[in-house]
Structure 1
Amino acid sequence: SPSNPSNRGTVSTIELFVNRLDSVESVLPYEYTAFDFCSEKTMKRPSENLGQVLFGERIEPSPYKFEFKKPAVCQKVCTRTYDTSSPSDKAKLDFLKKGMLLNYQHHWIVDNMPVTWCYDVEDGQKFCNPGFPIGCYVTEGGRAKDACVSNFKEKDAFYIFNHVDITIHYHIVEHEQLGARLVAAKIEPKSYENPNDDNPDCAGGPKFLKNKYTGVFKIPYTYSVNFVEDKSIRWASRWDYILESMPHTNIQWFSIMNSLVIVLFLSGMVAMIMLRTLHKDIARYNQMDSVEDAQEEFGWKLVHGDVFRPPRKGMLLSVFLGSGTQIFIMTFVTLFFACLGFLSPANRGALMTCAVVLWVLLGTPAGYVAARLYKSFGGEKWKTNVLLTAFLCPGVVFADFFVMNLILWGEGSSAAMPFGTLVAILALWFCISVPLTFIGAYFGFKKGIEHPVRTNQIPRQIPEQSFYTKPLPGIVMGGILPFGCIFIQLFFILNSIWSHQMYYMFGFLFLVFIILVITCSEATILLCYFHLCAEDYHWQWRSFLTSGFTAVYFLVYAIHYFFSKLQITGLASTILYFGYTMIMALIFFLFTGTIGFFACFWFVTKIYSVVKVD
């Protein structure tokens, strides 16, 4: 905020910072300087946290500087001159044209607030976009693309928004040392020819560049700034006007109510099984004293000697469950902090920084869970188990991320992680996460899990199963209900990632997270009970895959979203989209699968611990 100009008679300089440029038609963001705009080379760049680097944010100082409460009209910033006969100038001009063709947008910051471009949309509503285009293109057929307005009539031409009208809203604080606080910054991009380059007057028609232009081309950049006192906006709620124009909350409430109906339905089903079916079964089984009665056993009681038999590939399952536990705790804590307001959009990069740091510190529960389950499965290769827990799933994610980073490096994108940051992440992984995983595994291997019933030496033969109790149909059906709870919320999350919309509804997200956990648990318990009644005791992998199959539906939805909602073009952007989507699907698979396994583990342990078994 500016210092007190009214009380002390000083003049405050308001600095404007520029961030990366991005587009809904490309996954590749670029630094501000990549487009050869007017730049400030003398000032030092603000420091960026880990989350900002991972998201490709590159905040830099700009030559746009204003004196508080001193309006300015058509101030010259700089003039860029391009000679198409020069290969370097032609490359810069072509890159600028490519940016306008793909509708790349500026993201400017004043007093840690996005400078917004507000315009009217349908139904008389106003949408405030935290970004504005660098220009637009009119096709050879005369069709105006994106931000080109009706007076841009030149065909096959690029129109450059080389002038901005900036309006800064503030209010005076009487009872504090701070004289004034900035509460909003709005911008309106315009295009002017500016025939007089030395003394611009923001006159003439719009500035355009013919697609096949040759010769010398000049782009003068100018700005006007105005200050408006606004007593209606409090400093604490200065983001509200941006957030209120974002996707509406009534759709979110519809999503929540839809999810709650599914949860209530499932809860009723599970309660009916627990209170009626299981209660009768347990009462009947516990009354059986004679051998003749015991021979009449049927259903889930028959498999009591095999239900805790170690599964095939128990090593891999325990490793997946260890990594899934790590992801589950990380997600829960991150969303909880976000609900408390610590990770709001004002704290740039805080969400990703928090998630990465938590994941690194949660190596201990991952090692503990993997080791303890592996020992209960009868495993003895504890070194292999702990090494796979520390390196398998994180290694797959890092390998995918590294390949995506190589593509970003090749394209010169600002999202490419610097080599130093890559080394820092590897150091966090190897020096903190891996040792913590070993510590957790040490305590996990000390004591296995004691099961309530003994396992027979000879496996029981599983009878022929009907279609709906076979593994694959159950697994496919199990992921439908959890996905139904989250797919509307998923749309907003994908919008925030790929369409560069601001996401702030962490309260909704936390509620959906809780609903997802309950739905995965109850759907898996239901199917587990049906399979046990059909005398199929292979529940471990099935419970993991049943709820984990939600990730397959997530992947299908992401593919549908790519082809139906996005206008992404180019091979590199397509590869990046699907590369990052595969990372998200893997993490979601481990997360939901772990929920399903532990819900079933609790259910199976509970029902067999209350039955008298000879």
Structure 2
Amino acid sequence: MYTHMRRFFAINFLLVLTHAFYIPGFSIKSYHDGETIPLFVNKVYSDRSELQYRYADLPFVCPPTGRVHTGRFTSGASISLNLGEVLRGDRITVSDYELVMGNDEEALFLCSHTMDAAGIRKTKELIRDGYLAEWIVDNLPGATSYQTTDKTRKYYAAGFKLGEEVASKEGQDPQYFLNNHVTLVIRFHRAPGRDGRHGKKVIVGFEVFPKSIEAGHRKANGLPEDISNVAQGMSLSSQFHDEGSDNVTLNIPFTYSVYFREEDRLEWQNRWSMYFVAQDDSSNIHWLAIINSLVIAGLLTTVVAVIVAQTLHKNIKAGADGDKPRSNVDQRVKSPGLEKGGLLEQLSDAEIIGDASSDDVVVDDASGWKLLHGDVFRPPPHGGLLAPLVGSGIQLVLVALGLLILSALGLLNPSFRGGYGSVGIGLFVAAGLVSGYVSARVYKTFGGQIWQKNVFVTASLVPGLLFATTFCLNLFVWVQASSNAIPFTTLILLVCLWLFIQVPLVYVGGWYGYTVAGTWTHPIKTNSIPRQIPPQPWFIRNMQAILLGGFIPFAVIFIELMFVFKNLWQDKSGYYYVFGFLSLISIILLVTVIEVAIVATYVRLCSENHQWWWHSFMVGGSSSLWIFTYLAWYYFAKLHITGFVSSLLFFCYGFLACAVYGLLTGTVGFLAAYVFVQNMYAAIKVD
């Protein structure tokens, strides 16, 4: 009896948890006929500006009535957001629009709002810059409906226009028309399971059709006399701007229509697919990008295979055939007059063979990279900076892998608004433990003594760069009253995450890596005197090698970058969800970076240049230089961004993204080269 009661309470407890927490993308909200559906307003955005604005703060928006909707929603109240939503500029507010499941309304009056001259000028600017509004119903963004070029399928583009700019006659200012009426179409499907059997429905689509209707010819209730036959739109006449009077006002009536339509062919779990039809149509180009990447990666793989098979295997085989390199001590050369039992026996081996006390091997036919066996593991200059860079790079690698895996599993999806930012920051903070560990081991391998200093640099390098840049940009954005501005409380939260969670984790990882794990062991000891580096061929010199090595990974991701850039700065929807392609391209990119770093390091060692540590890191991350160059070209050739602040945001955030990417790929290149060099020189070690 006790067992059954315990099981009963456990099941009920799980059911309570299921209803208490909403899991984006997995929790289904069903509605019965007559139930009120809340409509939220979020923000406005444009492909001509990097500045977003809170919709509720716009000058033409009706002030909230404070009316309480069904449940806990009050008109004008702000919705609690996660960290990722705040960082992406979301500012969600409850609206006064009334949506009742199953009830069609041909026309409803919302309010009549009066704008002053400053509000009219601001509204004109928003319409001129092509701003789109984002509304939300059941976690779906309001969408403009389109058809594919062959007119066989319908697809959605998130957002709808605030108004229209109409060109006037030559010499006259253009006319601006504000969309003061919206037709809301809610697509629904029968709810799955028991809810469906009880007549409940789920929302699978939210379409918005804006319209401009003149203020005149209205009924007593504020509705147009004939909403389907409108002669003129709601014009923001140019005379208001020309007169320049601050006393000019304009009264604008706002109305809306609501229609519910059943969508039999679209299930709830596939409702987001309507937003990706356009991306699906470009799948052939994605496959072209993958084939291009595979060809480049295949050629590099062949080069690396040749290096390993013909060079390293040759040395191993020579040792197995008895042509094993001889020790230095066995190669003593007697001078005339030095006989056994005389002065020769009184001299040490080091005095006879010179400064080779730390050499393990000398090869009779030594040339190229074999001559560097006593210098190849010599600590690089400024190793105290390289170690934190590698540690921070490992941190970013773990974040990127975590996000790709969670996206592939479907746990991160577009319905989890702000999920990538929130989860990414969480993964970054947690990965501080591994970051401190790797950085400390590299630091000790380079001969570092003050591990606490290394921990501080590792813990503050990337967060410090990101926070300082974001804070400075915020000063410009705050002046513009944009929703891009991060609230001061959020900045304090980020600082607390850094100080009280990440820094301690980096400290623990650094302490363990430095004091317990210790240095990485090398197969060959280092000479006390560094070897002189001969003149280098032009293509191996630092800048040429870095640019050439970075171009190959850039060529791998070039086509996919075109889609990412288009989504971020032209579509501005934020819903780039071809993670199958993106994951595959990312894997090919990492393989390419690894192979490029190995080839570049091998060529450098063959030129008798033992300074490969920084070189491998720079070659691995150098594709970020090409990406930033492509970003600058894209700005001038493809985008129509105007204004100093928007341009500043574009280039600064683009620089941060490229710096983070370069740090990630640079770390991958460094570790790949290190493993390669370790195994290469282990093959000629004398036992």
Q: What is the TM-score of this pair, normalised by structure 2?
A: 0.83
Q: Deviations over 1:548-582 (max 9, x none)?
A: 11111111011111111211100010111111111
Residue number in structure 1 paired with 2:236: 209
- Structure 1, unaligned stretches of length 5 or more? 6-10, 83-88, 144-153
Aligned counterparts of 2:562 and 2:310: Cα–Cα separation in 1: 39
Aligned counterparts of 1:28 and 1:505: Cα–Cα separation in 2: 26
| Letter aligned with residue 135 of structure 1 | G
Aligned with residue 561 of structure 2, among 490, 493, 496: 490
Change (3 A) 1:274 1:69: same
Change (3 A) 1:21 1:161: same
Residue number in structure 2 paired with 1:331: 400
Give how far 1:613 is off. Answer: 3.6
Match status 1:462 vs 2:533: yes
Question: Which one is further off, 505-514 or 51-60?
Answer: 505-514
Aligned partners of 1:259 and 1:485 also within 8 Å: yes
Q: Deviations over 1:584-608 (max 9, x none)?
A: 1110111011010000000000011
Give how far 1:168 is off. Answer: 1.3
- Equivalent residues in 2 for 1:344-423, closer than 5 Å: 344-423=413-492
- Equivalent residues in 2 for 1:72-471, closer than 5 Å: 72-82=105-115, 89-120=116-147, 122=149, 124=151, 126-141=154-169, 156-173=174-191, 175-178=193-196, 179-195=200-216, 196=218, 198-199=220-221, 200-201=223-224, 202=227, 203-213=230-240, 215-246=248-279, 248-284=282-318, 287-289=323-325, 291=331, 294-446=363-515, 447-471=518-542
Residue number in structure 2 paired with 1:85: none
Aligned with residue 95 of structure 2, among 62, 69, 93: 62
Aligned partners of 1:80 and 1:219 also within 8 Å: yes
Question: Which one is further off, 132-141 or 360-369?
Answer: 132-141
Give how far 1:546 is off. Answer: 0.6
Residue number in structure 1 paired with 2:681: 608
Residue number in structure 1 paired with 2:357: none
Change (3 A) 1:285 1:471: farther
Residue 20 of structure 1 aligns to a residue whose secondary structure is strand
Residue 195 of structure 2 aligns to a residue whose secondary structure is coil
Aligned counterparts of 2:465 and 2:511: Cα–Cα separation in 1: 24
Aligned counterparts of 1:358 and 1:197: Cα–Cα separation in 2: 58
Give how far 1:296 is off. Answer: 2.5
Change (3 A) 1:2 1:525: closer
Change (3 A) 1:142 1:285: farther
Q: Deviations over 1:318-349 (max 9, x none)?
A: 11101101111111111110111111011100
Change (3 A) 1:138 1:457: same
Residue 107 of structure 1 aligns to a residue whose secondary structure is strand
Aligned partners of 1:310 and 1:378 also within 8 Å: yes
Aligned counterparts of 2:414 and 2:498: Cα–Cα separation in 1: 27
Give how far 1:171 is off. Answer: 2.0
Q: Number of aligned pairs?
A: 593
Change (3 A) 1:468 1:281: farther
Change (3 A) 1:231 1:294: closer
Residue number in structure 2 paired with 1:8: none
Aligned partners of 2:45 and 2:131 also within 8 Å: yes
Residue number in structure 2 paired with 1:20: 43
Residue identity over aligned pairs, in percent, reads 37
Question: Which one is further off, 368-377 or 238-247?
Answer: 238-247
Aligned with residue 629 of structure 2, among 549, 556, 566: 556
Question: Which one is further off, 387-396 or 539-548?
Answer: 387-396
Aligned partners of 2:363 and 2:370 also within 8 Å: no
Aligned counterparts of 1:488 and 1:469: Cα–Cα separation in 2: 28
Aligned partners of 2:214 and 2:234 also within 8 Å: yes
Aligned partners of 1:474 and 1:546 also within 8 Å: yes
Question: Which one is further off, 367-376 or 506-515?
Answer: 506-515
- Structure 2, unaligned stretches of length 5 or more? 1-28, 67-73, 333-361
Aligned counterparts of 2:607 and 2:32: Cα–Cα separation in 1: 77
Give how far 1:174 is off. Answer: 7.3
Change (3 A) 1:193 1:289: closer
Give how far 1:439 is off. Answer: 0.5
| Letter aligned with residue 304 of structure 2 | V
| Letter aligned with residue 198 of structure 1 | A
Residue 177 of structure 1 aligns to a residue whose secondary structure is helix
Residue 109 of structure 1 aligns to a residue whose secondary structure is strand
Aligned partners of 2:375 and 2:530 also within 8 Å: yes
Q: Deviations over 1:373-403 (max 9, x none)?
A: 1111111122221111111232112111111
Residue number in structure 2 paired with 1:598: 671
Aligned partners of 1:469 and 1:531 also within 8 Å: yes
| Letter aligned with residue 194 of structure 2 | E
Give how far 1:494 is off. Answer: 2.3
| Letter aligned with residue 439 of structure 1 | V
Give how far 1:127 is off. Answer: 4.9
Q: Deviations over 1:387-435 (max 9, x none)?
A: 1111123211211111111111111001111111110000000100001
Change (3 A) 1:197 1:78: farther
Q: Deviations over 1:199-238 (max 9, x none)?
A: 3123331221222236442211111111111211111111
Give how far 1:140 is off. Answer: 4.2
Question: Which one is further off, 378-387 or 491-500?
Answer: 491-500
Give how far 1:38 is off. Answer: 2.1
Aligned partners of 1:2 and 1:14 also within 8 Å: no
Aligned partners of 1:142 and 1:156 also within 8 Å: no
Aligned-residue RMSD, C-alpha: 2.0
Aligned counterparts of 1:194 and 1:73: Cα–Cα separation in 2: 18
Residue 601 of structure 1 aligns to a residue whose secondary structure is helix
Give how far 1:120 is off. Answer: 4.5
Aligned counterparts of 1:142 and 1:497: Cα–Cα separation in 2: 35
Aligned partners of 1:21 and 1:30 also within 8 Å: yes
Aligned counterparts of 1:173 and 1:586: Cα–Cα separation in 2: 47
Aligned counterparts of 2:466 and 2:594: Cα–Cα separation in 1: 26
Residue number in structure 2 paired with 1:40: 64
Aligned counterparts of 2:620 and 2:193: Cα–Cα separation in 1: 57
Residue 278 of structure 2 aligns to a residue whose secondary structure is coil
| Letter aligned with residue 204 of structure 2 | V
Q: Deviations over 1:99-145 (max 9, x none)?
A: 111111111111111121113575547552110110121234469xx
Aligned counterparts of 1:41 and 1:301: Cα–Cα separation in 2: 80
Aligned partners of 1:39 and 1:62 also within 8 Å: no
Change (3 A) 1:174 1:235: closer
Aligned counterparts of 2:315 and 2:600: Cα–Cα separation in 1: 17
Q: Deviations over 1:147-183 (max 9, x none)?
A: xxxxxxx962101111111211112347522511111
Q: Deviations over 1:226-273 (max 9, x none)?
A: 111121111111111221134622221111111111111111111111
Aligned partners of 1:39 and 1:63 also within 8 Å: no
Aligned counterparts of 2:65 and 2:468: Cα–Cα separation in 1: 36
Q: What is the TM-score of this pair, normalised by structure 1?
A: 0.93
| Letter aligned with residue 178 of structure 2 | I
Aligned counterparts of 1:323 and 1:369: Cα–Cα separation in 2: 9
